[in-house]
Structures are given as C-alpha cells and as structure tokens.
Structure 1
Amino acid sequence: MQTIKLESHIGNDGILHIPLPEIKDADVEVIIVYQQVQKPQKRQWSSEFLSTFGAWEGEALERAPQEEQFEREPLL
C-alpha cells in the first residue's frame, strides 16, 4: 500500500484526474479522502488604518539623535 498526497483542480466536469505513470495495466484499490482547499485571503491594510495616514495635526515629530552603536558579537 502506498500513500500519495497531491493538490489538484477539479474542473466543471467534476472529474478528478490522478496520474500514476508507474502503474500500468494493473488493478488497484483506491481510497479517496478529500478536503477543499481554502484560498488564502489577500492581506491588505484595513480602511480604518489607511484613514490615519496624514491625520497627525500636532507639532512636527522629530527623531532624537541616535547614540553610536556598539559592536555586536557575530551570529552563529
């Protein structure tokens, strides 16, 4: 018994094609357990977040002077 995991597309005809080129002219027993693939949602900034762009009305923000960086140990 062998296990094969694959992702495939089932067209409008409802037929799932499973190519098995290493098996020819043979009888096989097949068990299918399927799960529909969830397409990941495209990640985007929310409209509430985007509405904050340019909304600061106070005094101008200034970056404080940065201290000199010390030498770090190399990462392994």
Structure 2
Amino acid sequence: MQSIQLRSRVNEDGIINLQVPLELANHELDVVIVYQLVEVRTEEKLANDLGYPPDFFEKTAGAWQGEPLVRGEQDKCDERQWDVL
C-alpha cells in the first residue's frame, strides 16, 4: 500500500479533484479518504501585537548567562508501528 498526502479544496458542490502520479494512469485503485480540516491562518502578528515590547526577542535571544543547560537522560520512547499508515 502506498500513500499520497496532499492539500486540496472542496468546491461549493462538494467536489474535490484528485490528481495522482502519471504512473498510476490506467490502473484500478482502492482509495481511502482521511480528512482533517485545515486551520486558516490570518495575518501574521508582530511581537508587540502579542504583548511583547518591540525589541524583546532581540534583547533576550542568546542572553542566558547562568550554568550551561544540559538535557538529562531520556526514557525509552514507545515503539511505533509506521507500516500501518
């Protein structure tokens, strides 16, 4: 099984156009649709729009002067089954 991920828009009639690679032309396919609504982003906000002073990030980026930060030991993560996608 192969998968193709794409983003497309459904038109006002509920129709979505699906374009697949040309090597699939003239082949029969089983197609499964899994959808997730896309969050529409509005205009990008500046730092002062979010309540930060205009030069906050320029003044604070790289400013840590304490002891070096060290990442501690990590627990073993769960085993993932990637072949089921």
Q: TM-score, structure 1 length as denominator?
A: 0.52
Identity of aligned residues (%): 32
The worse-fitting range, judged by mean Cα deviation, of 37-46 and 5-14 is: 37-46
1:39 equivalent in alignment to 2:34: no
Letter of the 1:22 counterpart: E
Greater RCO (Cα-Cα under 8 Å, separation 6 or more): 2
Letter of the 1:17 counterpart: N
Say how many residue pairs are matched.
47
Query: CA–CA distance in 2 between the matches of 1:9 and 1:22?
Result: 24
Q: Map 1:51-62 onto structure 2 (within 5 A).
A: none
State the superposition RMSD in angstroms.
1.8
For the pair shown, the structure with the greater C-alpha radius of gyration is 1
Q: Which runs of 5+ in 1 are unaligned?
A: 50-76
Q: TM-score, structure 2 length as denominator?
A: 0.47
Kindly state the Cα deviation for residue 41 of structure 1 after the two structures are TM-superposed: 2.9
Q: Give 1 or 2: higher helix fraction.
A: 2
**CA deviations over 1:37-63 (Å, ceiling 9, x no partner):** 0012322627xx6xxxxxxxxxxxxxx
4+ aligned runs moved over 4 Å, structure 1: none
- Aligned residue for 1:22, secondary structure, equals helix
Residue in 2 that maps onto 1:25: 26
Kindly state the Cα deviation for residue 25 of structure 1 after the two structures are TM-superposed: 1.6
